[in-house]
Copies of this chain bind each other. A is one copy, B any other.
Amino acid sequence: MRTLDVALGDRAYPIHIGSGLLTQAELIKPYLKRPRVAIVTNDVVGPLYLAPLTASLEAAGVKVTPIVLPDGEANKNWETLNLIFTGLLEARAERSITMIALGGGVVGDMTGFAAACYQRGVPFIQIPTTLLSQVDSSVGGKTAINHPLGKNMIGAFYQPKLVLADVGSLKTLPIAELRAGLAEVIKHALIRDASRVEWLEQNMDGLLACDQTLMAEAVEWNCRIKATVVAADETEQGERAHLNLGHTFGHAIETGMGYGEWLHGEAVAAGTVMAAELSARMGYLSAADVQRVVRLLDKAGLPTKGPSLGGAARYIEYMRHDKKVADGALRLILLKKIGEAFISDAASIAQIEGAIEACCK
């Protein structure tokens, strides 16, 4: 088992990474105020992992209340969140209960937000079961639900007490979701660590085969990169924006195609190529660097070209609606070189459109 400490002052917490952690209640018990938890999961992950996790906790003397939500981003809303509150209240859960999120990003976001709000805040533990949630949402403390007028508009910054990243659970993940998770993995290397770009080039086949040792190593260095960025900027005022490499372009793809058509990671992959292409046009990357980014994403089985969406101008329009665009100025995350990101609002609309057009089908 590998352990990484996320340093956030009095809200610091450890991430344990390894295979089979899900049934090791002794890892969880030291973090409980009382032997009383509510496990929140969904109707896809629940049938796979709720029973073994519950059995392990009960054998350790912990009383468990299960709360099973309908799966999917479409259910990341108030009505589903309220199922959690109702489940807690019906079980007479007190402030000393600990909530456990068992599932992917949606379960983590909703459980974390419910924990932030229930009786004005109870502790929670994350057990992410997808690659995306293990390398992304398990670090950062962002929790939220969607509003009909905007994604992730209602939420809180709220840190877990503990994260258990069981790479064994990735074996049951659909391959498309594994690939989508790899998009964020590649992104982390690109913004911070050129040596990890090389590592990915060498180990991509093993990762796609879900090799447990390689996967644990990947999850660890990804969490480390994200933790470093987040610790420097917990509430997203500056540097944390680097994590949005490819995301503003990707947001345009997701919005333009209608949410759910492209997986988030797929949109980020195509968006990352656009950001790399724009970085080249701004004089930072070489054409060879851009090709290296394309090859790596391609090796992971991710799209490297965006949909046309009716032209670059339409892309720009969607990008302007992204909440990351303040005051109408298009601030984008670019690459100074492979392994180093920066924030720029220097690109002209013509330059951005040119980069989009070069990277669309």
Q: Write the residues of chain A forming the contact surface with B, with a CB cutoff of 8 angstroms.
A: 78, 82, 85-86, 89-90, 94-96, 116-121, 142-144, 147, 149-150, 153-157, 235, 323, 326
Complex CA gap A82/B121 in Å reads: 20
User: Which residues from B are CB-within-8-Å of A94?
Assistant: 323, 326
Inter-chain contact A117/B147, CB cutoff 8 Å: no
Task: Give the residue name and chain of the B residue nearest to A236 (CB).
Answer: B120
Q: Are A118 and B153 in contact (CB under 8 A)?
A: yes
A323 touches B142 (CB 8 A): no
The reply to whether A153 and B90 contact each other, CB–CB distance below 8 Å, is no
Chain B contacts of A116 at CB under 8 A?
156
Indicate if the CB atoms of A144 and B120 lie closer than 8 Å.
Answer: yes
**What is the bound-complex CA distance between A95 and B82, given in angstroms?**
25
Beyond A85-B147, A94-B326, list 6 extra A-B contacts (CB 8 Å): A78-B82, A117-B156, A119-B153, A120-B143, A120-B157, A121-B157
Given A116-B156, A120-B157, A157-B120; A147-B89 close (CB under 8 Å): yes
- Nearest residue in B to A144 (C-beta to C-beta)? B120
**Which of B78, B89, B323, B326 is in CB contact (< 8 Å) with A153?**
B89
In the complex the two chains form, what is the Cα distance from A118 to B149 in whole Å? 12
- Which residues of chain B are near A90, meaning CB under 8 Å? 149
Q: Are A121 and B156 in contact (CB under 8 A)?
A: yes
Copies in the complex: 2
Residues of B within 8 Å of A326, CB to CB, are: 94, 96
Question: Which of A117, A118, A150, A157 lies at the interface centre, i.e. has the most chain B CB atoms within 10 A of its CB?
Answer: A117
User: Chain B's nearest CB lies how many Å from the CB of A155?
Assistant: 5
Known A94-B326, A149-B89: A154·B78 in contact at CB below 8 Å: no
* Nearest opposing residue in chain B for A93, CB measure: B153
Tell me if B142 and A120 are in contact (CB < 8 A).
yes
A323 with B86, Cβ < 8 A, contacts A78-B78, A156-B156 known = no
Q: What separation, in Å, do the CA atoms of A156 and B96 have in the docked complex?
A: 16
Residues of B within 8 A of A157 (CB): 120-121
In whole Å, how far is A9's beta carbon from the nearest beta carbon of chain B? 12
Contacts of A85 in B (CB 8 A): 147, 149, 153-154
List B contacts of A235 (CB < 8 A): 120-121
Q: Which residues of B contact A118 (CB under 8 A)?
A: 153-154
Residue of B nearest to A116 (CB): B156
Closest Cβ of chain B: how far from A330's Cβ, in Å?
A: 15
Whether B323 lies near A119 (C-beta < 8 A) is: yes
Which residues of B are found within 8 Å of A149, using beta-carbon distances?
85-86, 89-90
A252 to B67, CA, bound (A): 30
CB pair B117 A155 closer than 8 Å: yes
What chain B residues lie within 8 Å of A142 (beta carbons)?
120
Q: Which residue of B lies closest to A147 (CB)?
A: B85
A95 to B323, CA, bound (A): 9
Expressed in whole angstroms, the minimum distance between the Cβ of A237 and any Cβ of chain B is 10
